[in-house]
Amino acid sequence: MAGRYDVIVLGAGAAGMMCAIRAGRRGRSVLVLDHAAAPGEKIRISGGGRCNFTNIHAEPKNFLSANPHFAKSALARFTPQDFIAMVERHGIAWHEKTLGQLFCDNSAKDIIRMLTDEMRDAGAQLRLRTEIGDIDQTAGGYRVSTSEGAFEASSLVVATGGKSIPKMGATGFAYRIAEQFGLPLVETRPGLVPLTLDPQLLQRLAPLSGIAAPAEIRHDKTAFREALLFTHRGLSGPAILQISSYWREGEEIMVVIEPDIDVFALLKKAKQGNGRQSAQTALAEILPKRLAQHVVESEGISGNMADQSDKRLQQLAAAIQSWNVKPSGSEGYRTAEVTLGGIDTACLDSRTMQVKTIPDLFFIGECVDVTGWLGGYNFQWAWASGHVAGEAA
Ligand code: FDA
């Protein structure tokens, strides 16, 4: 056997490293195993390379789960302020970009360095490039067979993330371990992902590819106000990524472009003020030129503003502010930032992330059925769930 530890953590991502730090600081001997060549690869690419490491407004309502109350305990016990304190102890400069989203001033690598330094100081060992094979329960805990030999520990923490971005080593391994131990899973699907459109609609919208506009995207009772981006595959931008976690195949979303402006009132005013102006010119006051041109043409509007009845103006405004669209699908795990669903929280103790029926087995981070909004919430869940498991493992 290659070694015995108090705690083995599978996965050196955000949650696994945070758990290792906390357990190590408690004096537990900790081994972290990962098949990747470097720890925290998703941290490295996150937030456009600057890591949106938390959100100061993080609250349970910003998370999706079959049990919306489950995340409360961990989130209350390790808060954004706790993470900010760690960032500041390491002298990492940060700023709030928008909507409570905190980013590194320099590089996401600062966060990875902070976590690996903390792990080292806590005495936690990290083994990379290690393929994990069988996991067996033993009299003394767990035995993990790997490409580097077998390791044993009293506690096993599974922190191998979800299925998003397989190119970066995401495997869905945690779900296989859950199945092995007979634990229930909530169906997984890609979240925070661009939505695609059917080829006919895509062809009509092709001229808009690359255009961004402020928008409110609605689905059922949920709405997000952020930027909308037209792409060569469909719709993207933060507002679409946010709603994608709520949307299901076959359903419609409503797009309200420029939600802070009453477009109908604006068009009426433009008609009264300058009747000789074209509808396209009037609209281009508030919309990108190409978008204004597209809407006017696709609504079949010609002539100047004086020629347009109120009904026509209402129709034009509705095309911009009540656009019901049925996405054909999503870009899938290839580009999804997160995986929705996962280990059913019903089988976990919310204070420790320990499996209720199996001693000393823990699941943390993205593999659990808790998924945050876009904007630093998912890392906050990784830190918080990792921290509470590290207190108990
Ligand atoms: P994570 O995926 O980070 O770590 C899992 C670890 O397990 C990896 O190191 C992996 O190599 C390892 N592993 C997997 N399978 C294994 C196996 N079979 N054997 C051994 N090791 C295995 N969130 C946020 O809050 N702010 C942001 O700015 C961003 N930005 C962002 C950008 C992009 C492009 C993506 C894809 C995602 C984000 N996210 C984000 C989401 C965030 O990255 C995500 O929620 C966390 O990384 C989840 O942390 P975990 O530790 O649970 O998994």
CA distances (Å), origin 158, targets 43, 76, 334, 385 = 18, 22, 23, 11
Global pTM exceeds 0.90: yes
- What sign does the CA torsion over 241, 242, 247, 250 have? negative
Q: What's CA 143's distance to the chain center, in Å?
A: 32
Cβ–Cβ < 8 Å for 347, 183: yes
**Going by CA atoms, what residue is nearest to atom 53 of ligand 1?**
161
Query: What confidence tens digit (pLDDT) does each residue in 40-80 have?
Result: 999 999 999 999 999 999 999 999 999 999 999 999 999 99
Q: What's CA 18's distance to the chain center, in Å?
A: 18
What is the C-alpha to C-alpha distance for residues 135 and 181, in angstroms, rounded to an integer? 10
Instruction: Report whether pLDDT(346) > 90.
Output: yes
Ligand 1 center–CA 202 separation, angstroms: 31
Q: Provide the 3-class DSSP secondary structure of residue 314.
A: helix
What is the C-alpha to C-alpha distance for residues 69 and 80, in angstroms, rounded to an integer? 18
ipTM score: 0.99
What is the C-alpha to C-alpha distance for residues 175 and 108, in angstroms, rounded to an integer? 28
Residue 168: per-residue pLDDT:
86
Residue of 31, 87, 378, 383 to mutate, ligand 1, most atoms within 8 A of C-beta: 378
Residue 106: per-residue pLDDT:
98
- In this structure, the number of other CB atoms found within 10 A of the CB of residue 381 comes to 29
Instruction: Beginning with the edge strand found earlier in the chain, give each strand of the sheet holding 94-96 in spatial order.
Output: 52-55, 101-104, 94-96
> Is the beta carbon of 194 within 6 A of some atom in ligand 1?
no
Query: What confidence tens digit (pLDDT) does each residue in 94-138 have?
Result: 999 999 999 999 999 999 999 999 999 999 999 999 999 999 999
